[in-house]
Structures are given as structure tokens and as C-alpha cells.
Structure 1
Amino acid sequence: MKKHKVIIVDDQRSVRSMIKRWIESDQNWEVVGEASNPFEARDLIIDKHPDVMTLDVHMPEMDGIEFLKKLLPQHPMPVIMFSSSTAEGTSITLEALDAGAFDYVTKPSGTPESLIEAKEDLLYKLNEALNYNATSYQNSKTTLTKNLSSEKKQGTFKTKLIVIGSSTGGTTALRKLLDDVDKSFPPILVAQHMPENFTALFAGRLNAELKVKVVEAKDKQILEQGTVYIAPGNYHLEIQKTNGDLYTKIIQTEKVNGHRPSVDVLFESVVTNGLAKDSIGIILTGMGSDGAKGLFNLKNNGCLTFGQNKETCVVYGMPKVAFEMGAVMHQLPLEKITDKVRELGAK
């Protein structure tokens, strides 16, 4: 049986050895090379043609971000970053995702539990990296030319709520999707698979870049027009309806589909509160199936539903399951979803 090839890039030999043991515990994978810096890594890529590369965020001589920006245009491939959960590590990891990294694994703290969790996370993401869509990287680097003479007029929405679910590739997809959203849009709630410490920083970055307000959701916030609420890492985000007003609800019940926040939990809360007919549900790039059942339930209760198409997804997993289930009413390229939402959600 032919094994899938990985190269490991990290300046610490002990870390490389640990990652190699983890990877080769799965008989489907083999480590074909190790590099202590990006220059060694570049030569290995040319020589070994790996299927996946793991890359440390902090590298001597050239940091991981700069390396990604130089590497991916010439050798599009899935790169899994190893990052720390510190504020600096989180910030650099988000930059790496912007630069085209496939996904990331948080470095273990040293406890037995954290080591097991990091190993399982890496093996899961390695296998999902085999579904990597290289053309999505090229699409993400294509600048959309905007006709400034025909700026879209802010409309009035009959839709009261927009809910979005995303995972791998979602940080970049969300930025692109929300770039054309303005203050006329109804409240937007997002369940993006992301750990603690990452979501507040991610929301802050979006808030600085977009035309609308973006916040990490807190419990019992009243939902306001023109505001995006990002589910906090390690918590579920739900909708709560009280005396006709809509609020956020933050809970830490069990993981659903292996995730917290879970897209299904967010979507199901819309149905539970009788809001499906007044809502729009969107499922974006991501591994697995989280959100598919919730989107199907939304659609069956009168919700307008959208799914990102295969060509623009980093991983056509969640949207694929939803589409094949019959949950997606409109499957579109990422850059066309917002315009269609505006058209169909307006009064």
C-alpha cells in the first residue's frame, strides 16, 4: 500500500521527533524528510514532493508566514501549522491562515491529556488534508474588482437573522463573504470551529477590516442590525427569544459532532425559537458534517439556505454533506453568496 508523504519543518529536533512518532503511528503515513529551517524545507519539497507539510510558526532566518507566502504560489499544498495558544501565537496563526495555511494544531502544554489531544488533532487533519482543494488557494488570491461607480445600495431586509457555519478554510472564507456586508444587514451569527483565545482575536481583526461591527459573542447580548457575532471558542452559541427580542445564549454543554462551538447547535436554536422562516442559513468550507443536519432542518422549516460550492472550498466537506442531503437551496461560489443573500433577503 502506497503511503502518504509528509515533511516536518521545525527548528527543534525533539519536536520533530515527537511529531514523526505521532504521524508514523498511522500506517497510512510516512515522514519522508525533516527540516530545521525553510531553506532546507524548500529543497525537500522539490526532492520529495510531499502530500502535506507541517510547519512551525516560529522559524529561524525566515518565519513561517514569509515562507508560506513564498512557497504556496509555486507549490500549492496543504500546510498544517504548529502554533502556541499565547496571544502572539494565536495572532501569527491567523496570519498563516490568511497566507494560505490549510489548518493548525495547537502545541501541547506538556500534560498527558494535551499530548494525546494534539496527536489526535494532527492525525485527523492530516487525513482531511488529502481532500485539500489547491484551486481554492488560487481563487482566494484573486482580487475581486469592484465597480466603484455602482456601489451597492443599502437595502431593507425582510430577513431577521443570518446564521453561518464554517470550519477549515473558514477564517479566510468568512472575511471574503462578509467584505460586502453593510449595516443594513440583519444580525449575523457565526459558528466557526476555533479554540479558546482564537475567537476574540479573530473577531477583533474582522471588526477592524469590515464595514460592520464584529464581536465575540457574550451571553445575553441583544442582537442588533449590522452586527456579526462570532461564537466563542469552547462554547456553543444559540439564539434566545425573550419578549419578542432576540438575544445570544452562550452555553458549555457537551460537544456536538466533536465540536464546541457546533454549527448544528446554532442552526437548531433558530428552529427551536420558531425563526426559520425569517432567517437565512449558510454553510461554508469545512471538514466533516457539522451543520448539515441543522441546515436541513432549517430548510424544512422555511429557511432560505446557501452552501459554498466545491470549487471555492478549501475542503468541500460540510457543504458537500449538506448539499447531498438536500439541505442547500442555492449552491454558489463564495464570492456570489452575499449578493444572492442581499437579493433574496431584501423586502
Structure 2
Amino acid sequence: MTVRKVLIVDDQKSVRSMIRKWIESDPEWKVAAEASNPFEARDRILETGPDAMTLDVHMPGMDGIEFLKKLLPQYPLPVIMFSSLTTEGAGTTLEALEAGAFDFLAKPSGTPESLEETKTDLLEKLKSTIGFNAQSNFFRNASVSKLKTQTPQTSISTYKKKFILIGSSTGGTNALRTVLSNFNEHMPATLVVQHMPENFTLLFAKRLRSELGLEIREAQNNERIEAGTILIAPGDFHLTIQKNGKDYFTKLTKTEKYNGHRPSVDVLFESAEALKIADQSIGAILTGMGGDGAKGLLKLKNSGCLTVGQNKETCVVYGMPRVAFEIGAVNHQLPLDQIGEKIKALAQL
């Protein structure tokens, strides 16, 4: 058995000790070294050659984001950020993901339940780093301005589909930015599930809206689903579709986690299939660990939905798209930088 090495970077010794205990509870992992600041971390990376790193955002001397920007071009290893669940913490974490961080974990509240949940999440995310694709950073950091000038805008009359449904997880914030940068204000109504906790999805939607100039917002309960609008499932709520008369509306629920997630991609996809709108829809599944969304995408495809999956070469983690592809749920498997244009083309069929 190959034992993989982790570097822990945090300015608090008690936190480093806690993370060490979690990591060493799994025989497949060991702690290569600890560092209390980015300068120590740089030296430990050179000395130990870790397979992955945990990193606190706020540290003395140099913050985690600045460290990432300097580090990753030279040493493209997967970095898992530890973040607070505050709005400020969410903003900083989104910056870290944009800078190339692999994923993030919310700091536990201190209860036994939250500590155990964070430990489990950390070990799962470390396991997913085994399939980390360093080359995908090229696609994650692609210039939005360049992507937005690739093709002319399309008139509203061209689109025949009514819904675009997208699911993503690890690496998805940057993947979604790339895909949505190809959209315009006339696109079919778009609903997105990105695995994120509370506070993060609202800020993520605002950042995308500001960057892309599109009507992008966090979904509210019972709002009309309309063309030209991109709705992102709020953290800790499932997003589904319901019909009232001729119109379609969102429905947010806090039912049990599905596939370990709330929001869940499968919950969204399956709600669309149950409403018999698959033949009016396009389904897409992007980078992410696990298999959430794969079964729902297959149900959509079998009911007439046109489906797209991200290919292995451009995924940060080829998990969700892999499962979907292997069970036959994907009509078109494409590199990330081609998916937005493909969705636009399929929407006209």
C-alpha cells in the first residue's frame, strides 16, 4: 500500500495537532510535516515533497491566497483550504479557489458532531486528490474575457429548449465560470447545483453576476423560472422544480441529504425528470468528486434530455462526470472550454 504525504499549514499549534490526528487515523495517509506560516511551508514542501496540503487562509506574514498564487505555478499540488463559514470567510475562500486551491473545508464549530463530520470530509477530500489533474488548472484559470468574445450573441428566437440543468462539485466554481461565460441574456432558464455550504452560494452568485454581466442569483423559494436567468441552489437547501399552471417555479427543501449532499445534483435532475420536462432540457455534469448527479442525468437522458459531461483531461476531479459517462448518461463528453458553446448549440435543437 502506498502511503501518501500531507503538509499541514496553520499558525495555531492546536489546530495542526487536530488535523494531524485526523489524517493519521487513516493508514493510507501520513503527515509529512507541519508549518506555522507560508515561509516555513515553502521550505517543508522542498524538503518533503507532499502529495497534498491543508492551508489556513489567515496567517502572519503572507495570507493563504498570496501564498497560493506564488506556490501553485511552481508546485501544482492539491491544496485544501480551511475556511470559516462567515461571509468574509466565504469571500476569501472563493478567492482561494480562483487562485487554484483544490477544495475547501468549513472549520468545525467545536461540537463532537461537527468535529467528526469535518474529519470525515477531510479524509474524503484527501482521497479525491489522488485523481488530481494539475493540467486542469489551465482550464480553471482561463480568461473569461477571452471566452466571452468567442462567438456572437444569439437571439431569443433561436433557442427551442426551456431549461438548462447543471451540476458540479470539486473544481466547479471555476468550471462554472468558464461554461457560463459563453452564455448570453437570451439563454433558456438555467438552474445550477454546486456543492457549497450556506453563505458561499449567495456570494458566489454575486461574483459571477458581476464578472459575467448576466442575471445570476441565488435561488429563492417559489420564484418563477424564466429565460435569461441563472439560479444557483443555496447552500444547505435542495433545489427542485415545480409547475403551477403553465409556469415553472423553484422549490427549496431541507429534506435529508442525498448522496451525502444538500443541495444535491440528483435531486434537481430527478425533479425535472418527474415533471416530464426532460425533452425540453439540457443536462450537464461538471468536475467533482463522488457520483452525485449521474443517476439523475441518466434518467433525464432516457426521457429525451440532451446531456453533456466534462472530459477527464480538464476535470479537477474526474468523479461525477466519470460515473455519469460509465453508466451511459452522457451524450457528449467534451473539454471544459467547449461545453458552454455545445450547450448553446443543443439549446437550438
Bin of the TM-score, shorter chain as denominator length: over 0.9
Aligned to 2:184: 182
Aligned to 1:207: 209
Mapping of 1:261-340 within 5 angstroms?
261-340=263-342
Q: Distance in 2 between matches of 1:139 and 1:247?
A: 33
Q: Distance in 1 between matches of 2:149 and 2:221?
A: 39
Aligned to 2:77: 77
Change over 3 Å in CA distance of 1:271–1:80 after alignment to 2: same
Q: Distance in 2 between matches of 1:285 and 1:149?
A: 23
Match of residue 198, structure 1, among 181, 200, 223: 200
Q: Quick check: 1:160–1:186 contact (8 Å CA) kept in 2?
A: yes
Aligned to 1:136: 136
Could you tell me which runs of 5 or more consecutive residues in structure 2 were left unpaired when the two chains were aligned: none
Deviations 1:164-208 (A, max 9, x none): 000000011001110111111011000111111111111111111
One-letter code aligned to 2:262: R
Q: Quick check: 2:5–2:31 contact (8 Å CA) kept in 1?
A: yes
Q: Distance in 2 between matches of 1:141 and 1:179?
A: 13
Change over 3 Å in CA distance of 1:150–1:272 after alignment to 2: closer
What TM-score do the two structures reach when normalised by structure 2? 0.97
Aligned to 1:154: 155
How big is the shift at 1:274? 0.9
Does residue 105 of the first structure (1) align with residue 126 of the second (2)? no
Change over 3 Å in CA distance of 1:243–1:254 after alignment to 2: same
Q: Distance in 1 between matches of 2:196 and 2:212?
A: 20
One-letter code aligned to 2:243: K
Aligned to 2:56: 56
Change over 3 Å in CA distance of 1:299–1:122 after alignment to 2: same
Q: Quick check: 1:181–1:211 contact (8 Å CA) kept in 2?
A: no
Aligned to 1:216: 218
How big is the shift at 1:126? 0.7
One-letter code aligned to 1:78: P
Q: Distance in 1 between matches of 2:281 and 2:60?
A: 49
Deviations 1:77-134 (A, max 9, x none): 1000011111111110011011110111111111111111111111111111111111
Change over 3 Å in CA distance of 1:146–1:14 after alignment to 2: closer
Q: Distance in 1 between matches of 2:25 and 2:150?
A: 58
Q: Distance in 2 between matches of 1:66 and 1:90?
A: 16
Aligned to 2:348: 346
Q: Distance in 2 between matches of 1:31 and 1:151?
A: 51
One-letter code aligned to 1:312: T
Change over 3 Å in CA distance of 1:16–1:148 after alignment to 2: closer
Q: Give 3-state SS (helix, strand or coil) of 1:222's partner.
A: coil
Q: Quick check: 2:147–2:181 contact (8 Å CA) kept in 1?
A: no
Change over 3 Å in CA distance of 1:51–1:271 after alignment to 2: same
One-letter code aligned to 1:151: P
Change over 3 Å in CA distance of 1:332–1:15 after alignment to 2: same
One-letter code aligned to 1:248: T
Q: Distance in 1 between matches of 2:170 and 2:150?
A: 35
How big is the shift at 1:143? 3.5
Q: Distance in 1 between matches of 2:183 and 2:149?
A: 16
How big is the shift at 1:304? 0.5
How big is the shift at 1:2? 3.2
One-letter code aligned to 1:57: V
One-letter code aligned to 1:178: L
Residues paired across the two proteins, number = 347
How big is the shift at 1:151? 2.9
Q: Distance in 1 between matches of 2:165 and 2:154?
A: 22
Mapping of 1:78-97 within 5 angstroms?
78-97=78-97
Aligned to 2:65: 65
Q: Quick check: 1:179–1:211 contact (8 Å CA) kept in 2?
A: no
